[in-house]
Structure 1
Amino acid sequence: MTTSGPDPEDLTARARIRDAALRHFGEHGFERTTIRGIADTAGVSSGLVRHHFGSKQELREACDAYLTKMIRRLNDQVRADMTPDDVNYIALSRAALGPYQQYLARALAEGWAAPVFDGLVEMGEQWLEEVDGKRPDPPYADRRVRAALGVAMALGVQILHRHLSRNMGVDMYSPEGDHLVARAMLDIYSHPMISPDEAAAMRDALDKVRGTSPQAERVTALRRDEEHDHD
């Protein structure tokens, strides 16, 4: 599997500021992080931070844009080379995003980093489009909703990594942890917990409950009234 060279931006003072911001936002949160603290870590003046990014909010947006760009590039590499002979893609993604795990966990738990999450959802939709074409049965849930839920569950692994590591008996960010997580994910995705027939029965039950709920009955009544008014 080939990888592209370093981003030219990563050789600049701007990149040092961005990486310092990612560290501070991850360790202290957005509110407690200061421009001066970021500048000291990056080895530049506060004025240079403001020159490049304007404000702390714009700096955070730049951090999100950088991570989204990195994840898209990694996604493109994986899609271009799907031969799993000697590549653990989970370990690869962890290695690429390793320095930013704390930022992502904190940002997502606090409800920001929306561009990162939304970018992952878009990439998830691309994967699902290919998978859906191979399904013997048509999906009965919206593709974007499925992609968003998949991203949320995958990112939950990062947020809950301490609890996962404790239950796995090994640091999930270690080589052994990467191997265990990869094998477990393969098993989960290749062996569904319920059969298609069971899923269909549950879907029908959900639709029946939804159709008889008070909210659904009110919607039905409103539609009936609208039709009567038109008549």
Structure 2
Amino acid sequence: MQPAPEEEDLTARARIRDAALRLFGEQGFDRATIRSIADAAGVSSGLVRHHFGSKEALRDECDAYLARALVRLNDQVRAHMSTSETNYLAVAVSVFAPYRSYIARTLVEGRVAPLFDTLTDLGAERLAELDEKRADPPEVSRDARATVAAAMSLSVSVLYEHVSRRLGVDVFSAEGQGLLARILLDIYSHPWLDPEEAATLRARLPEGSGSGEGSVEEKARDD
């Protein structure tokens, strides 16, 4: 299954965005310039400003584009969940591999909030389905679990060099995608703690440690 590109992907605007994603990832936001992005896209600096207005707005569009790509990927995967050809993990890695440097750098800089929030929201939707099948009710809020899961899933992009070195294969290569998919499937399907061990450790947690209830927006409204 190949993810469908956006309709705009053949336009000058899309070439500018893709050039910005690459240069922001390679050079960082401060070092990359409007001129260098324009040169990489094969357009004039004036056209970059015409489409985006400023470098900051261009970066916002890069963030929003990755979030939209994630939604499209999720929709495609869910539409093919019953087919054996679907390998969500491998597809996800291949879709975002070209943007690895951008994602890794901007995550460290505290950016790509749209991508992180979208990944968290989609994870929460999936957890809602999984929670219905749980024999034990979760003690931590769905949003809290989805937030941490999103951070864990994006960590491979940030720690790409280390993960590839330890596994002995580029995790963004075809071979690496297959290996990463198998590893994640094994981890997710075999919990590290049995219920008794988890109960023992839970009993040792300090009281009032919270359940992660409420989103960032909800807490902000309460303050």
TM-score, length basis structure 2: 0.89
- Matching of residue 120 in structure 1 with residue 115 in structure 2: no
One-letter identity of the residue aligned with 1:134: K
Cα distance per residue 1:85-134 (max 9 Å; x no partner):
23322221122222111111111111111111111111110011001111
Q: Matched residues in 2 for 1:33 and 1:175: separation?
A: 30
Cα distance per residue 1:10-57 (max 9 Å; x no partner):
111100110110011000111111101101111111111011001111
Cα distance per residue 1:128-168 (max 9 Å; x no partner):
10011110000001111110100101100111111111111
Q: Matched residues in 2 for 1:23 and 1:210: separation?
A: 41
Q: Matched residues in 1 for 2:101 and 2:73: separation?
A: 19
- Which stretches in structure 2 are left out of the alignment for 5+ residues? 211-223
Distance 1:2 1:26, change over 3 A: closer
The residue number in structure 2 matching 1:133 is 132
Q: Matched residues in 2 for 1:163 and 1:3: separation?
A: 28
TM-score, length basis structure 1: 0.86
Cα distance per residue 1:56-107 (max 9 Å; x no partner):
1100000111111011000111112213523322221122222111111111
- Matching of residue 152 in structure 1 with residue 140 in structure 2: no
- Which stretches in structure 1 are left out of the alignment for 5+ residues? 212-231
Distance 1:2 1:153, change over 3 A: closer
One-letter identity of the residue aligned with 2:15: R
Which has the larger Rg? 1
Three-state SS of the structure 2 residue aligned to 1:192 is coil
Three-state SS of the structure 2 residue aligned to 1:44 is coil
2:24–2:102 contact (8 Å) kept in structure 1: yes
Aligned positions of 1:196-211 closer than 5 A: 196-208=195-207, 210=209
The residue number in structure 2 matching 1:28 is 27
The residue number in structure 2 matching 1:180 is 179
What percent identity do the matched residue pairs reach?
57
The residue number in structure 1 matching 2:9 is 10
Three-state SS of the structure 2 residue aligned to 1:206 is coil
Three-state SS of the structure 2 residue aligned to 1:134 is coil
1:201 to partner: Cα distance: 2.3
One-letter identity of the residue aligned with 1:162: E
Aligned positions of 1:1-231 closer than 5 A: 1=1, 4=4, 6-83=5-82, 85-208=84-207, 210=209
Q: Matched residues in 1 for 2:176 and 2:31: separation?
A: 32
The residue number in structure 1 matching 2:217 is none
